[in-house]
Structure 1
Amino acid sequence: MTDIIAGLATGAIYAMVALGYNMTYLASGVLNFAHANLMVVGMYVAYWAYSAGGLPMPLVFAVAFLLAGLAGVLEERFAIQPLRKAEGSAELVTMVGVATVITGIIALVYGTDALRVPFFGPDGTLVFFGTRAQPLDLIIVAAAIVLAVALELGTRRTRIGLAALAQIDDREAAQLRGINVGALSMWGFAFAAAVGGLLGPLLVAKTFAAPSLALILAVKGFVVLVLGGVGSHRGVLLAAFAIGIIEALGARYIGPLYRDIVVFVVFAVTLLAFPQGLAGGRKERVV
């Protein structure tokens, strides 16, 4: 059970990345592959606060939220909007380029060494039913569940969420119905990026601050997204917890060097059985 709880916490981190992908996809039709980098930006804000010392925690979270949100707006305005009429995978390649630029800036300012930042998290260990758990692990799991539930409700029961679903289904028809898809895209990027930055200081105590961490999170988040189903918040959460538990048990019973191999084997087998993801569904269109 101790390994399972630790696996759930790791899966919750992957879920937060994949939920960020979902937010930008539903709002603009684009997967923001720089989302993990914006979470790392929030981690370095926490490192800046930890180094400075004495900064109030609410201020640190506010700075991370605003800085990442501003970066999201700049991404959408200068990397996505000019390519709306481009064909092929221009937007995808551009977002990979943006992620590379953010990683390079962080490495230039702070270096490439991994930094431990004990910024947030209660001390001590909880023991219940013979199981040991870190309070921070439980907080991270709870945060992922709350975020997934909030996004699910927001997508299905609010006007903005329904507008996002409409533009994903047919962007031109949504525009004809009066939906401002440009504003929806910009605010979707801004909100997703701000949430990612806000989560950075929470996660850095569980992981570490390093430019290379963004690539690891981006890949695992993408695996979770495909496995759970693009656009499905519930599926993403389920897939993330499954991946986290598989990693933890694989490291325990097979060896830490093979846990990624186990994850990708399970990923491939699952996609063979469920090509649309665990919570995805086939769409039929009359042509």
Structure 2
Amino acid sequence: MLWRTLALMVVASCLSLWVVWAQSEKRVTIELKDAPIVDAFDQLFRAAGENFILQPGVPKEQRLTMRLVDVPFEKALNFLCDLAGLKWERKENIYIISAKPQPFIFFQQPPFRPSPAPHPPLIGPSPVPKELERFITPLMGWVKQFVLPTITVFMRCPKCGESIQRACPQCKRPIQPHWQFCPFDGTRVAPIPEKCPKCGEPLKGWKIEGEVKILGATLTPVEGDVAIFFTPREEMTLQVLDEQGNLLSERKLAAEQRYSLRLSELLGRKPEVGVPYRFRLLNKEGREVATVSMIVRR
């Protein structure tokens, strides 16, 4: 019984304190229509009889429209600050109005996925400037050792058997059929002859012993066969012809696809040793872009 009496007394005391606090809280009535924010705060604080300070950084160009009737002062202040994007605090009975701190926004970067490296562009030969001759001359010995054992190129006349080898007219070093300049001294080389200088018979193609690269394709003699490694940059056709120009095989090549072929695979049989085979590349329009002949060795 005693505990019930005490509980009722505590509840009654709390209700009476709340009624006193509610009656003592200041209530305001304001009405604003497209009013500057400074006038809005001035009208609110005059109605409540309180002091306030607007801190630097408060956007004074904002305009507000609102109507509050018999609302607790601090609730009206909260509404006003929320509309204007501001905050308030009370120090020594003075309300200080300031701008809210801007939140830090973190922009997440998308995951980095490196793109595949593009094929390097094909660059044609160019002449060696005169001022580079002094730099190139000491390297001729090294270039000679690197280039000459790699490939031997000659052309044989089908009528008289004359052997014709492309060579630099100045240094007399042999050069490959697709070179326009000598890599040793920069001398421009005459184009590939079309006829035999001895009998005038039309010349068909070059006979190559050793590895040769043509338009990015690598042709290498291996144990009675020819290995072909090629990644064409566009759609092409690879043809194999005999010495008389008769078509023996044809293979369509897709762009950007790596091929590893054998001459025996293209012919469907083992190639004949000592017989020259002509490899010809055609673009997608059917135009010949490169041709080279190789002799199959044991």
TM normalised by structure 1 equals 0.19
Q: Identify the structure with bigger relative contact order (alpha carbons < 8 Å, sequence gap 6+).
A: 1
Structure ranking higher in helix proportion: 1
Flag the structure with higher strand content: 2
Q: Which has the larger radius of gyration?
A: 2
